[in-house]
Amino acid sequence: MSLKHWNKKHIISIRDFSRDEIDFVLKKSALMEDKLSSSKPVKLMKGRILANLFFEPSTRTRMSFETAMKRLGGKTVGFSVAETTSEAKGETITDTVRVVEGYADVIVLRHPAEGAARVASENIKIPLINGGDGANQHPTQTLLDLYTIQKEYKKIDGLSIAMVGDLKYGRTVHSLANALESYNVKLTFISPRELKMPKRMVNRLRDKNIEVKETTKLNIGNADVIYATRIQRERFPDLQEFERVKEAYVLDEIILNKLKDDAIIMHPLPRVSEISPEIDETRHARYFQQSRNGVPVRMALLCLVCGVDF
Amino acid sequence: MDDKKQERKLKIRNIKNGISIDHITAGKAPEVLKILGIDRGFTDSVTLAMNVKSSKMRKKDIVKVENKDLDVNEINKISVIAPQATINWIHDYQVVKKEKVKLPDELIGIVKCPNPSCITNKEREPVKSIFLVKNTNPVVLVCKYCERETESLY
Ligand SMILES: [Zn+2]
């Protein structure tokens, strides 16, 4: 895949990615991680500026991109909504990015309105990376999730992946399922009845010949990857029901002897109580590493869209 | 009595100049009127038939409007709710043109995204709604921006 293919490309939605493109990003991310772990500083983006435009706060995503850019020798500018004045709030996204286009070489945009990143990208010539648009997309999260799996098993095809928790509203699990569509995987969706994976998503996966199992029981004995998500209180009108449901999907030491030996547990973080701290020190825990993996993945993407070869 | 019957029949069957939209999905005629902008203030003659027996569709609706033309936008909108509709342009009691509606691959600026959180519904943001037609029977549209799928838009 040529460098030209990626130069000035906007990263808006995981649905825009072909399997080849995903595989290429994962390969480049591994290369970047090698560079990162060598003692030589990486200067690939020296002299370039990343604008972080956060119309809603997301400390982790913002810090991850900032770290990525700085590790590349570049600089960052930007704002997060907590710090913004009314001017940034009243202005349209279109206007904001057109102004920022004059300052920076690449933009990361986070915005609560769904589709904001795509609209913004249509109005500028510098590349834009979607850092989350409401309940819609967060493509770099999905890529780092895939990278974590790939890094662990040196493959994605052939794996059995269980997603646990809120599968109805969870953006990360939807995007991950979308991306896994083009891989040969077995999926198990584990959730309370109220929070099942949307029917159209399940149908779509089955149309692509992916084996999908849906269950309310925490059956994770066959899974190579367990992807846990948070169940939010707001989803339940009845508090008692919420407590009952939440308890049923907690990953704690009781589940440890049911797991495959080399199974890994992932989580987009922040977690609340769905993974108990005693899991943290086990060989299964990958969620902190997963979060760290965001840095090389974002470094690779920043270079690719800025036309920087490595 | 016979005369009256005859007259009613005539009124449904014939218009002098205007359009006749046939093979509308049963029950959708009122929505077609809405698309055509026909409301209380409309003064020309409008005929509407609902749930008429049809050999092709089992049941269908028909709308005939005197002294009316249709533009591409209106035809595209009709194609979303009544993908099998046919439009007849009538001049001097004769059908001068006949066209089957065709759902385009992309609907630009003609339907509103039903997702309130969609950027296309944000006031002041200069962006037109764009829907990609994912399936035609039943009609499934995907918003280019918020990526939500939707089946009923009216
Ligand atoms: Zn939309």
pLDDT of residue A66: 98
pLDDT at B151 (0 to 100) = 80
Work out the average pLDDT over A158-165. 98
* Dihedral class, residue B67 (left if φ above 0, else alpha if ψ from -120 to 50, else beta): left
A88 confidence band (pLDDT: 50, 70, 90): low
How far is it, in rounded angstroms, from Cα A281 to Cα A292? 16
In this predicted structure, the answer to whether residue B120 has a pLDDT above a threshold of 60 is: yes
Burial class of A238 by CB neighbour count within 10 A (0 to 12, 13 to 18, 19+): exposed
Q: Where are the domains of chain B?
A: 18-100, 106-150
How far apart are the C-alpha atoms of B31 and B76, rounded to whole Å?
13
Residue B5 pLDDT greater than 90, yes or no: no
Whole-structure pTM value: 0.89
Residue A41 above 50 pLDDT? Answer: yes
Contacts of B150 in chain A (CB under 8 A): none
Confidence class of residue A241 from pLDDT cuts 50, 70 and 90? confident
Contacts of B127 in chain A (CB under 8 A): 94, 119, 122
pLDDT at B154: 46
Q: Is the pLDDT of residue A196 over 60?
A: yes
Asked if pLDDT for residue A226 goes beyond 60, the answer is: yes
Where exactly are the structural domains of chain A? 3-137+294-305, 139-291
pLDDT of residue A243: 87
Mean pLDDT over residues A253-271, rounded?
94
**Fold identical between A3-137+294-305 and A139-291?**
yes
| pLDDT exceeds cutoff 70 at A82 | no
> Cα(B150)–Cα(B146) distance, rounded to whole angstroms?
11
Is the domain A139-291 a CATH 3.40.50.1370 member?
yes
Q: What string of DSSP letters covers chain B?
A: -HHHHHHHHHHHH--SSEEEEEEEETT-HHHHHHHTT-STT--S-EEEEEEEEETTTEEEEEEEEET----HHHHHHHHHH-TT-EEEEEETTEEEEEEE----SEEESSS--S-TTBGGGSTT-----EEEEEEETTEEEEETTT--EES---
Whole-complex ipTM: 0.90
Mean pLDDT of B95-103: 93
* Residue A161 pLDDT exceeds 90: yes
Answer yes or no: do A15 and B143 touch at CB < 8 A: no
Kindly give, in sequence order, each residue whose CB lies less than 8 Å from that of residue A268, ignoring residues fewer than 6 positions away: A141, A145, A172, A229, A290
Q: Which residues of A touch B119 (CB under 8 A)?
A: 93, 111, 113-116, 118-119, 133
Chain B touched by A200 (CB under 8 Å): yes
Q: Would you say A205 and A181 are in contact if contact means Cβ atoms under 8 Å apart?
A: yes
Residue A72: what pLDDT? Answer: 98
Question: Would you say residue A296 has pLDDT above 50?
Answer: yes
- B120 to chain A, closest Cα gap in Å: 8
Q: What is the pLDDT of residues A128-146, one digit of tens each?
A: 999 999 999 999 999 999 9
**Was domain B18-100 assigned CATH 3.30.70.140?**
yes
Q: Is A98 helix (H, G, I), strand (E, B) or coil?
A: helix
A63 reaches B (C-beta below 8 A): no
**Under an 8 A CB cutoff, do A115 and B118 touch?**
yes
How are the residues of chain A apportioned to helix, strand and coil, as percentages rounded to the nearest 5? 45, 15, 40
Is the per-residue pLDDT at A192 higher than 70?
yes
Calculate the dihedral angle through the C-alpha atoms of B91, B84, B79, B118, rounding to the nearest 10 degrees. Answer: 160
For domain B106-150, give its CATH number from 2.40.50.840, 2.30.30.20, 2.60.40.10, 3.90.1200.10. Answer: 2.30.30.20
Pick the CATH number of A3-137+294-305 from 3.40.50.1370, 3.40.50.720, 3.40.50.300, 3.90.226.10: 3.40.50.1370
Specify which residues A215 forms β-bridges with: A190
Kindly report the average pLDDT of chain B as a whole number.
Answer: 88
Q: What is the pLDDT of residue A85?
A: 53
DSSP code per residue over A225-265 = EEEE-PPPGGG-S-HHHHHHHHHHT-B-HHHHTTS-TT-EE
